[in-house]
Amino acid sequence: MLKPTEAMLYAGTLNAVTSDLLGRLEAKRRGSPSGQGLGDVASLLYRFALEGIASILFETRIGCLEPQVPPETQRFIDAIGCMFRDSVFVTALPAWTRPLLPFWDRYLRSWDTIFAFGKQLIDRRMEELAAQQERGQEASGYLSYLLACGHLTPTQVYGSVAELLLAGVDTTSNTLSWALYHLARDPQAQANLHREVTGVVGGQVPDVPHLAQMPLLKAIIKETLRLYPVVQVNSRVAVEKDIIVGGYLFPKGTLISFAHFTLSRDERSFPEPERFLPQRWLRAGAAPHHPFSSIPFGYGIRGCVGRRIAELEMHLALARVSGGVPGTRQHWSLCPGSRLATSSWLKGYSWLQVTSAPEKR
């Protein structure tokens, strides 16, 4: 996992991508029939997350937030969506169904497209690095480090970067979508966040030092991840020895699954577990809970390697979306007639609208 000080180095890159996100959100709002609706904002946040992590991993922009997405990038986006949809059937259906049903072949074709896209960008970066070395220039960046450190073969780099790319997309986009959804339903929490952000940054662009002064912002992300952990079930194998947990013996080699969704909604740790209550993560209003009752990024050496990047990207994006344009206050609300309160999936729906008004002094 990257250290916080290492993740800070990518704040400028992520803020540049966030600026493009804000531009696309404003364009969608102005282009809507009402001048307020944002259309399928969850899908836009998905493309934002993909652009952000790609900018770090591949050290280049791939055009996810362009008005017209490049064809090869669009094929990549489509392949990711298809892969995730078919993965449900691939993991649930028995192997004998694979020649009979379309899911397995389509799933493999999606992965081929994903890896081919990643390989193309990595190969391009390798050529750029070789040219830089010939000119005596020093290279920097995450991918440059992986290629130069010598710990991984090129084949391992191809696979690792593609999987890091996928892991970083759903965490950020899903969490931001649900955070905005709940803020749109809670005007007071929305106002409190706006007050916190503008009070810290004024008219500046939020940066890493500002985030340390935004406890409510971080609490909103934590509460969203508690309610909607991206990985709902995770598993580990007891590889070293027999272990005893809660009086139960688990022999060496046992596969142990952690139901994050269930754990983080246990009322013994979180009173009123179904409610969105960011204040439960603030020192002033927090009730004690077990430190492992909500671990959306895992823990220890097998924890999420991209956690710091994902957190930084979510914090910067939510801070800038909530801060709005200096001198104005943006009000987020659900579109009239929206029926997403019981839905677990926000993509493909027009559910969010925003209005602007001069800020009261």
Using a 10 angstrom Cβ sphere, with 0-12 exposed, 13-18 middle and 19 or more buried, the burial of residue 248 is exposed
CA distances (Å), origin 302, targets 32, 57, 140, 175, 263: 44, 20, 26, 21, 19
Cβ neighbours of 43 (radius 10 Å): 17
Which token pair is 148? 């130069």
Using the Cα atoms of residue 261, residue 262, residue 266 and residue 272 in order, give the sign of their dihedral: positive
For residue 177, list its beta bridge partners.
none
Q: State how far the Cα of 60 lies from the Cα of 150, in Å rounded to an integer.
A: 22
Q: Are 113 and 79 in contact (CB under 8 A)?
A: yes
Contacts of 85 (CB under 8 A, 6+ apart): none
Which token pair is 319? 């801070």
Q: State how far the Cα of 259 lies from the Cα of 9, in Å rounded to an integer.
A: 34
Degrees, nearest 5: CA angle 247-296-300: 65
Q: State how far the Cα of 224 lies from the Cα of 204, in Å rounded to an integer.
A: 26
In the annotated binding site for heme, the residues are: 304
Q: State how far the Cα of 258 lies from the Cα of 250, in Å rounded to an integer.
A: 14
Q: Where are the beta strands (DSSP E) in the chain?
A: 233-237, 243-245, 248-250, 255-259, 328-334, 352-358
DSSP 37: B
In the annotated binding site, the residues are: 304
Pairing mode, strands 248-250 and 233-237: unpaired
